[in-house]
Each structure stands twice: as C-alpha cells, then as structure tokens.
Chain A
Amino acid sequence: MSDMPKVTYIEHNDVAHEVEVPLGLSVMRGAVDNNVPGIDADCGGECACATCHVYIEPEWLDKIGLPEPGSQEASMLSFAAVTQPNSRLSCQLQMREELDGLVVRMPEGQH
C-alpha cells in the first residue's frame, strides 16, 4: 500500500472513485489523470473555464478554505452551474499532506 495521498471523488450519481494524487498536483489533475468522470477541465487548469467545479465535503472545508475574494477563481466560480457555499474550482487546489483523504463531490454537469 503506497503512502501517496488519496482523494475520493464522488460523482453526482454517488459513484465514488478513490485515487492517489501526488503532493503538488491539483485536485483537478488527480481526476483527469485517472479518468474520473464529472470534471471536464476544458482549459487545462488555467482558471479560464470553470468546468473543474467541485463541492468540498463539509469536514474538509476548513482545511481547503474559500476562494480568495476578488480572485480569478472567485469571479469564474460565481457563474459555474449550481454553485454552493462549499464550491471550489479544483484546478486551484494543490494537494498537500494535510489534504490526504480529501473528499469532493462533482456537480451534475460542468456545462
């Protein structure tokens, strides 16, 4: 069993995918690299498309935090489909040790 940090991605239909995401890689790349459905990441992580939108599970919200006010992410996120207070753009979240075990949910659609 490796020591690499893990993230669980839960699709809108409740299908869960637990994958290893190396430190420093974005939560978005963790999904894309493992072909997890539900995160589109059209712009490849440039914060230009808002299609890597995820909901952070409540117990992880403190560690993840909210988008920086006035940031590109905050602007883009406000227009993503069905945003909630725990919405983040996953291309802006880098894996850190303390995020090992992170759980995120994907919205019904990214477009």
Chain B
Amino acid sequence: MSQSDARIVIVGAGHAGGSAAALLRQYGWKGPITLVGEEPIAPYQRPPLSKAWLKGEADAASLALRPDSFYPANNVALRLATSAVGIDRTARAVALSSGEALAYDHLILALGAHARKLSLPGLALDGVLELRTVADADRLKAALGPGKRLAVIGGGYIGLEAAASARALGAEAVVIERESRVLARVACPELSAFFQDYHRAKGVEIVVGAAIEAVEGSGGHVTGVRLSDGRLIGCDAVLVGVGAAANEALARDAGLACNGGIVVDLAARTADPLIHAIGDCTHRPLPLYESMGRLESVPNALEQAKQAAADLCGRPPPTPEVPWFWSDQYDLRLQIAGLPLGAVETVLRGDPAAAQFAIFHLDADERLLAVEAINAAPEFMGGRMMIGKRKQIPGKKLRDMSLSMRDLAA
C-alpha cells in the first residue's frame, strides 16, 4: 500500500483531534482521514464555555475550531455523535457504537478527559451540573441570571471562572472548596489568597476546608448543599468542578500502557507503532522537568497534535514547549508558564494591590521553573522564555521593576 492510500483514523473530535486532522492536511498527508467524535458537533474550543459562552458573548461560529465547510473541503470525513467502543489492534480496526468496524493504517487517540464525579447523595437531582461540553454549558447558562444562586463544588479554574461569569450575569455564587484554599492543586498559596480576596470583593462567597454531606432537593430539583458542619447552602443549581480524569479506558482495554493517561513519548507515540495519543488523555514526558505527567491545557493539545502529525508526515518533531495555561476571571488575566516542580523559592514582582504582578518559582540553583502572572503579559512571556532556556536568575533581579523583563530574559 502506498503512502498516499494510508488511512488515518482519529478517535476524539475535540481540540487535539480536530487540530491533528487539520495539521495532517497542512503537512501534506494525502490518504483518507476520518475523525470520530462523541458529541454531535464539529471540533470546538472549550475555554470559552466557562466564560464568553456563558455570558452570551460567543456563538457557535466563534466557538468552532474551524468552519463546518473545512472538513469536506479538506477531505476529512467527520463521524459525529459516534463513540468508539473498542480497538482491535490485530485487525487494525476501531469498533464504533454504530456497529461498524473502522479500519485504520494509523490511529490517533484524542479521547480527552471527563469531569470527575463525586459520590454524594443528591447528585442525580435536576440542576446538578458539570462543565465539559457545550451541552453542559447551555444547561449552566440556563440556570444563571439575576436572582439565581449557583453553588460551585470545587475551587479550581472551572469553578472560579464559572463563579466570575455568574456574577457578570447578576447571579450569586458560592464556591465550596475541600482544601484550605482555592486552586490548591495548581497555584501557590499567595496566588490562591489573591483570587479568594478578589472573588470575595466581587460578592462571591468562598467556603474553604469544607466537607460536603449531601446535595439536597425538592420535587426532584436541587435546593441546596449541606456541609458536614451542618450548614446548608441554598442554591438553584450546583456546578461540580472537581477535576478531570483522562479517558483512557479504550486504550487500556486494548492493552496500551496507561498511567492516569495513555503513556506516550515526545512524538506522541504509544508503544504500538501504529497508534499515537494526544491531548488531555495522555501521560507524557515533561522534558524540562525530567518527569512525566498529564497536562490539561489547550496548548498541550495543540503541541501533541503537532507532534503526531509531524511524526506521521516525516517532519522533524516540533521543539518541546514550555507548558503554559491561561484563565480569565473578571478583569484578571492569569497566565502561567512552567510547573513549580522542585521549587524552593518564590519571588514576587509587581503590585498585587493593583492586580498586576507575577510570582516566580525558582529551584535550589536559582533556575526559573514557573511563573504565575496576573495582568502581566511581559512577566509571563519573559518568564516563559527563561524557563525554556533553563535560565538561572537571582530573585532580587526578578523583584526589581527597574529591570525590564526583556532585558532579564535576554
């Protein structure tokens, strides 16, 4: 079979899968490409779901990764509202929920992640929501508005962005967090404190160190969240945002190594030479940190889509990127670069009172590992450059606003 006939099947039509399809064509892949997605719509961006979409500032066209016409125009067969139920690696075929077996010469798994579920009484009540898909976002949007009260279980990015959007829509929001601070898993204590203060100043109630007893309801609809200390938080809707878990079952069942994500290398290859995996579903090398992990971000989905497409099309792999992430809440833009793995020192630059500052994380050799920047794009961009170059820099220089980030990063 010549290269030009080789068939690629991509399972998962989210950010990673959709991008992979486009990049394969961009890089010159000529063979058939089939993109299989569970949701009934073509690939779209999830970040706006907790922000612009909820606030009515986005529409389907602005959400879409590419226009619907893109797929036929680029000879990408879209199989939407279709799940993959099994992978037969010997027969090289993907079993679909329709009953068909889709043959492949190369397979890309872009299975994504799903919202973690809690096990609590009351979660089956109407009005208990999660936020992963546009259908979820529509349900959440319908529950928000002036006079409505949203209880958010989980003080992570999803919860905080939803709380900010709820406030923008005139709704009340209460964030209930298990740990002693919001963003406990993903941000340093100083940043958590900043966000807690900012949200509270915007009228969001934040309850930390909270254990939940049950979600309560009446007539089949949620009416409140009862905490273990007895307190009842009345609400019209509950958003459960307690993290995401990789959709690895399909891969695991097919015998591919998984570790809280499908294990891949820096070319997005699994141990099967015919199968790549990309995006939220993967457990991947983190070269700057000499470790492995799962990165839950749009930049990661894109980077791995590029890795897979480059590998399949015989192009050199893209230079590994510094992991990065962004979150918008109210008029705050948070941009994070790197991971604070092994950090021993934090350095503040700028003015938290003016909501314009950055927190840098250094290791024992003063090497910059990560930066968390609020409304401080130069600190984010300069920091990201320095992290990528493994630059060592004394904290007192970072603290010094008379030294520009451009000069420090050079």
Contact = CB atoms under 8 A, between A and B. Distances in A.
Interface of A: 32-33, 35, 37, 40, 42-44, 46, 48-50, 72, 75-76, 78-79, 111
Interface of B: 22, 25-26, 45, 47-48, 65-67, 70, 74, 298-299, 302, 318-319, 321, 324, 326, 328, 333, 335, 377-378, 381-382, 385, 405-406, 409
Nearest to A80: B381
A33 B66 contact: yes
Contacts of A33: 66-67, 70
A43 B381 CA distance: 14
A40 to B, nearest CB: 7
B335 A48 contact: yes
B47 A44 contact: yes
A26 to B, nearest CB: 10
- The DSSP consensus for interface residues of chain A is loop
Contact of A78 (B66, B326, B378): B378
A42 B318 contact: no
B302 A40 contact: yes
Nearest to A36: B26
A72 B328 CA distance: 13
B406 A46 contact: no
A35 B70 contact: yes
A109 to B, nearest CB: 9
A39 to B, nearest CB: 11
A35 B67 CA distance: 11
B318 A35 contact: no
Contact of B298 (A42, A78, A79): A42
A79 B406 contact: yes
Contacts of B405: 79
A32 B318 CA distance: 19
Nearest to A40: B302
Given A43-B47, A75-B378, 15 more contacts: A35-B70, A35-B74, A42-B299, A44-B45, A44-B48, A44-B65, A44-B298, A46-B326, A48-B326, A48-B333, A76-B381, A79-B377, A79-B381, A79-B385, A111-B319
A79 B47 contact: no
A93 B335 CA distance: 22
A37 B26 contact: yes
A49 B337 CA distance: 11
B63 to A, nearest CB: 9
A32 B377 contact: no
B67 A111 contact: no
30 contacts: A32-B66, A33-B70, A35-B25, A35-B70, A35-B74, A37-B26, A40-B302, A42-B298, A42-B299, A43-B299, A43-B326, A44-B48, A44-B298, A46-B47, A46-B326, A46-B328, A48-B333, A48-B335, A50-B381, A72-B333, A75-B377, A75-B378, A75-B381, A76-B381, A78-B378, A78-B406, A79-B378, A79-B381, A79-B405, A111-B318
A43 B199 CA distance: 24
B358 to A, nearest CB: 12
A75 B321 CA distance: 20
A10 to B, nearest CB: 16
A75 B376 CA distance: 8
B21 to A, nearest CB: 10
Contacts of B66: 32-33, 35
A98 B199 CA distance: 43
A35 B406 contact: no
Contacts of A48: 326, 333, 335
Contacts of A32: 66
A49 B299 contact: yes
A111 B335 CA distance: 17
A35 B26 contact: yes
A48 B319 CA distance: 20
A72 B377 contact: yes
Contacts of A37: 26
Nearest to B64: A33
A78 B377 CA distance: 10
A79 B404 CA distance: 12
A76 B377 contact: yes
B377 A111 contact: no
Contacts of B26: 35, 37
Contacts of A40: 302
A35 B22 contact: yes
B332 to A, nearest CB: 12
The 10 closest A-B pairs by CB, nearest first: A79-B381, A75-B377, A48-B326, A44-B45, A76-B377, A37-B26, A35-B26, A42-B299, A33-B67, A42-B302
